[in-house]
Amino acid sequence: MILRFCILLTFLLSSVCVQAQDTVFVRYNLHRVNFEAERGNYMILQLNQSNIVHESAILDTIPKHHIIGLIIENYPGGELEMDLKSFSNLQGLEIGYYLDEECPMKEIPDQVFEIRHLENLSMYGIPLGKVPAEIQQMSNLRYLKFVDCGLTAFPGKILSLSRLTHLDLGGNSFSIVPPDISKLANLQYLRFAGTDGQHTPINGLPSSISKLRNLRTLSIGNRQRAINLPDEICQLKRLEKLYIDCPDLTELPKKIGKLSKLQRFEVYADQLVALPESFFDLKNLQFLKFRTRDAKAGVLLQEEQLRDFAKKRRIATVQIEVLCEGFRIEQ
């Protein structure tokens, strides 16, 4: 099994008091380590390692207090052998599995919760089932990602992480988003959709979604049943990107035209009857995409209206796809 570490080091961050010096790019490939000195503001260590050589031999070649980011993929053991606490300036940590084999890691390593200054935590492909209460200790988190982690319920303990700006919970199995998600008032990015249609099958969004006034990107999907889109979603005045993948979706919120900052809108729906009148009030739209498997979908009857709308608003791209057939309008 191949293990890849990618460590991002920098000397010119305001939050890390380290004197600037030459950048060193270190690439480890199987049994050979090559050092190449370069000038610059950051240092990257890329490690592609087999089980033959232990990673500590590489990590010991550079000062750990210079390391601010660490990516660990396809780690061969269930527990990390390295001491994460020794990376005193670590700001970002990513642990994930892409392999088809069973993931040996089943829970978040305890030492992760002891890195209180961590700002970015990403985990994917690990069958966690749930997020432990210790996550509340990580009050400096701004970016949080649990993708394809088998979460059976919304991780309510994260609602105390008031500094979060990015939350990605795609590819899990829970269906209910709690009203208290409004506590994450600084959120700019919220994603429940997954890759290749493997969405977290939420049944809807709570009306309190309107309190996420800083939200700029919202991505949701459910290929099992219709999603309830409350009218309050139209109060997200700063929303710029909206992605919806729901074959059973029959209608969009009637006041969707109030999303005056919306620039990119993608809807995958088979049952969408028609676009609400206010849709044509979206004055900043630059990318519009509809996809359906029903050649008689109501939105197709508005093709001419959509063409006129695209010309009037000077929309860069409009796409309508029916099954494997479609057309594209470019202005």
The reported pLDDT for the residue numbered 132 is 95
Helix (H, G, I), strand (E, B) or coil at 183: helix
The reported pLDDT for the residue numbered 23 is 30
The reported pLDDT for the residue numbered 61 is 64
What are the start-end ranges of the E strands in the chain?
3-10, 23-29, 32-38, 42-49, 67-73, 92-96, 120-124, 143-147, 166-168, 189-191, 217-221, 241-245, 264-268, 287-292, 317-322, 325-330
**In the chain, what are the domain boundaries?**
3-238+247-257, 258-331
Query: At 173, which amino acid appears?
Result: S
The reported pLDDT for the residue numbered 15 is 32
CB under 8 Å to 139, separation ≥6 — which residues? 116, 160, 161, 162, 163
What do you get for the CA distance between the two ends of the chain, in Å? 49
User: Is CATH 3.40.50.1360 correct for 3-238+247-257?
Assistant: no
The reported pLDDT for the residue numbered 107 is 93
Radius of gyration of the chain (CA): 23
H helices within the chain, ranges in order? 56-59, 303-313
CB of 148 within 8 A of CB of 198? yes
The reported pLDDT for the residue numbered 148 is 95
The reported pLDDT for the residue numbered 14 is 28
The reported pLDDT for the residue numbered 323 is 58
Name which of 186, 174, 235 is nearest 209 in CA terms. 235
Taking 70 as the pLDDT cut, the residues of the chain under it are: 1-62, 99-101, 295-301, 323-331
The reported pLDDT for the residue numbered 110 is 93
The reported pLDDT for the residue numbered 261 is 97
CB under 8 Å to 71, separation ≥6 — which residues? 4, 5, 6, 7, 94, 96
- The answer to pTM > 0.75 is yes
